[in-house]
Amino acid sequence: MIDKHSPMPIYYQIEEAIKERIDKGEWREGDMIPSEREFSEMYHISRMTVRQAVTNLVSDGYLIRQIGRGTFVARRKIQQKLFGLTSFTEDMKGRGMKPGTRLLDFRTVSASGPIAEQLQIPDGGEMYEIKRVRSADDLPMALEITYLSEDLVRGLTEEDVYGSLYGYVEKELGMTIGYATQELESSVAREAESRTLGIAEGAPLLLIKRFSYLEDETPLEIVYSAYRGDRYKFVVGMHRNRTDSNG
């Protein structure tokens, strides 16, 4: 089960093995899994290596550690996904809906102002501007305008933006997305939005502004979205920081 000579790190192999047992239902929610020392003996590896695997799964929400008692399969594992940053495409698939895209506009424009600044594009640089209507199960769900530095994702084509931009950046360009900050506010649809989304004027809209960054903090994209208030709920899991109550 564990290959010590695989290029895959041992701790990663253990993570996958544990997740598989949980997914298969071999270990159920609330069950105690083998102790770190048992894993260590089972696979003939050091306990610190086991701990690295378990620590990762704890922070991913799969496991719960309890001092003096043991390590347990987390309840509510459905909620694991809530903690991770996802693209529209991944979000909709996670909700069991079919994502779709209608491209309204795809162009490069010269960068300037706060958008250029946020994307760290120097004066005179170009950026992609992509306007899309995102749909779920063939009904309009959101209106999206995305900005990316042309320099960072040079060679982006219209075909690339019909699916997940995150998927493209990660799989085609081999970049690693780190995190995003998102601002959400409530608004009402004006004429233009109501027409594009097929809702009444004055109907509720959820506005989301997203700044995405790569792992090394390079700004990747800015996205302005307007989601239909009658079809979309934003769902997020948040952990309590160890340091919040102090500082």
Partner DNA sequence: CAGTGGTCTAGACCACACG
Partner DNA sequence: GTGTGGTCTAGACCACTGC
Among 16, 19, 21, 36, binds DNA (CB under 7 A): 36
Q: Is 25 in the site for DNA (CB under 7 A)?
A: no
How far is 115 from 131, CA to CA, in rounded Å? 15
CA dihedral 138, 141, 147, 151 (to 10 degrees): -30
Q: Select 105 or 239, whichever has its Cβ closest to a second copy.
A: 239
- Which residues ranging from 43 to 102 are in contact with a second copy (CB under 8 A)? 48, 59-60, 64, 66, 74-76, 79, 81-86, 90
Q: Select 2 or 180, whichever has its Cβ closest to a second copy.
A: 180
The one of a second copy, DNA, none whose footprint includes residue 11, by CB under 5 to 8 A per kind, is DNA
DSSP letter at 7 equals S
214's tokens: 């790569």
Q: Which residue bears the tokens 């929400």?
A: 61
Distances (CA, A) of 118 to 13, 14, 32, 218: 39, 40, 47, 10
Q: Which of 67, 41, 39 lies closest to 52 in space, CA to CA? A: 39
* Residues of the shown chain interacting with a second copy in the complex, contacts defined by CB under 8 A: 48, 59-60, 64, 66, 74-76, 79, 81-86, 90, 166-167, 170-171, 176-188, 202, 204-206, 215-217, 227, 229, 232-245
Residues interacting with DNA, by CB under 7 A? 4, 9-12, 33, 35-38, 44-49, 51-52, 65-71
